[in-house]
Structure 1
Amino acid sequence: MLYPASLPTFHREPATGDLAVFVRWFWIPEWDIEPGRTSRQHLIGFPACNLVVEDTVTGISGPTTRASHRDLTGKGWAVGALLRPAAVPALVEDVSLLRDAYREVELPELSAAVRTAMNAKGPGDDRRGAAVAVFTEWLLSRMGSPSDEALLANRMVETAETNPSVQHVADLAAHLHLSTRSVQRLATKYVGVSPASLIRRRRLQEAAEKLRHDPSLDLAALAHEFGYADHAHLTNDFRTNLGFTPSNYRKSLSDG
């Protein structure tokens, strides 16, 4: 989230047990916006698919290559599962076709079970816990056992997103003991974006978080920290992927 102070009520529940190889976590926003008002949620999405159940629609959103937003109105909720690469083949025929896209899907059993849980009376923790439980049960019934290749795809994404020494695709390939071509093929099949995009997104997310916590940071030093040749290259990546510059983002944080 680029502006977490404007979030609706937001809960994140970890995926546990056998499901953890397929799902990173469940995320559950709930909102109740005053009539006539709108809450715009800005975010840098993960380069991953999400399976999302809402009160009136169920869909799969694909990996993102740019910032996006959603305008919330009225009262509502969503229960989403942030999928790991190993889950993709069971749910998506060609993940590259879902890049920066959302597709409604007909999953009546899952949709009905999650909606029954979320719309029940009772404490919020109970409703959310019940929704995650039925979502977990449905996913496990669809997933089967992950292949060695699927587990390798999980490792590829985790490495690209968490290892600061991985600055280029060649670094990622060396870390996984694969050829660059093999890494690119894994990313195409299981993620839907290039391995270079995975690395770039991590750097942008980390840079945005650094600025959010300390808007006084020197931008040239920030660029160097995240492996950019100079301030101009960091600014170009911000503008291309997020639609604004680091300077404008910093100013918006202080204005807000």
Structure 2
Amino acid sequence: MRPWVDYYWRVRWEGIEPHEQPVIPQSRIHLAAEEGRLLVHGINRRTFTRTLTGTGHVIGASFRPGCFRPFLRQSVRTLTDRVVPAGDVVGVDDVETAEWLLDPSRSDEQLVDGMNRWLSSAQPADDRVAFELADLVSRVEADRTVVRAEQLAAIAGVSLRTLQRRFDDYVGIGPKWVIQRCRMLDVAAAVHSGQPVDFASLATELGFSDQPHLTRAWTALVGSPPATYRNRA
């Protein structure tokens, strides 16, 4: 699954009190075994919170941006801000596999193997556009100087309108949103680094007009200014 899947992940929890975990979504689709099904998590444009109670685990696959399109065989935009059972949109029954994956006795290696088997049964196609867009988003994630969709269109060698259409169809969201979210994740990495942060310099580096612009964008995403968030974290 390497051409399509970036990585597999597993979350385990055990606690007496419920734990609320905020999540800043990325520009990628996740497939996760939970609640007795394999659930496809489309791109969520807003920060959300998951509540973990008791004891349990979730196993999931994080797809390279654009690379769930070969499984879905239609526009990924239909999944944006939605969570749907995988069998309903991929056409391969997921209930038995989800039950197997949610068995707490399984090792990580067994879980990855089980997820691989189900994904292989969906017979994804090799899709040049999907792989090109995945590489393009990787460029955005790694290169902080990419701050505008027009820059990304130039890198891709296509018009801005063509880039927008491809992102809507394959990634599920426009290139402007993807770039802005990558830069917000750069802010998150800075505030979690444990090192002092010069937010004015960081704002300039990430393409914001000034520090108040960065502060407004971050506050709209997580509900508090970055300095407040850093102190709480």
Aligned to 1:196: 176
* Aligned length, in residue pairs: 229
Q: Distance in 2 between matches of 1:114 and 1:96?
A: 25
Unaligned runs of 5+ in 1: 1-18
Aligned letter for 2:13? Answer: W
Q: Residue 67 of structure 2: SS of its match in structure 1?
A: helix
* Distance in 1 between residues matched to 2:33 and 2:191, nearest whole Å: 33
| Secondary structure of the corresponding residue to residue 86 of structure 1 | coil
Partner of 1:26: 8
1:168 and 2:152 matched: no
- Whole-angstrom CA distance in 1 between matches of 2:96 and 2:107: 14
Aligned-partner SS, 1:82: strand
Worse-superposed segment, 142-151 or 217-226: 142-151
Residue 33 of structure 1: SS of its match in structure 2? strand
State which of 62, 78, 85 in structure 2 corresponds to 1:104.
85
Give the TM-score, by structure 2 length: 0.89
1:232 Cα deviation after fit: 0.9
State how far apart, in whole Å, the 2-side matches of 1:119 and 1:150 are. Answer: 33
Q: Once the 2 structures are TM-superposed, how far is the Cα of residue 244 of structure 1 from its aligned partner? A: 2.1
For residue 205 of structure 1, report the CA deviation from its aligned partner. 0.6
Matched residues, percent identical? 26
- Residue identity opposite 2:82 in structure 1: A
Distance 1:134 1:110, change over 3 A: farther
- Indicate which of 131, 135, 149 corresponds to 2:129: 149
Assess, with a 3 A threshold, how the Cα gap between structure 1 residues 151 and 106 changes in structure 2: closer, same or farther.
closer
| Cα deviations by residue, 1:112-132 (Å, 9 ceiling, x for unpaired) | 2353254264xxxx6221111
| 1:66-215 equivalence runs, <5 A | 66-84=46-64, 85-91=66-72, 93-106=74-87, 109-119=93-103, 121=105, 127-214=107-194
For residue 215 of structure 1, report the CA deviation from its aligned partner: 5.5
Post-superposition offset of 1:110: 4.0
The alignment partner of 2:146 has SS state of: coil
Change (3 A) 1:114 1:78: same
Partner of 1:3: none
Question: Do the aligned partners of residues 111 and 28 (structure 1) sit closer, same or farther apart at CA in structure 2, a change above 3 Å counting?
Answer: farther
| RMSD of aligned alpha carbons | 2.1
Q: For the residues of structure 1 that align with 2:143 and 2:32, how far apart are their CA atoms?
A: 28
Within 2, Cα distance between the matches of 1:163 and 1:146? Answer: 27
Question: 1:175-214: per-residue Cα shift (whole Å, max 9, x none)?
Answer: 1111111111111001111101111111111111111113
Question: In 2 relative to 1, CA 69–130 (structure 1 residues): closer, same or farther, beyond 3 Å?
Answer: same
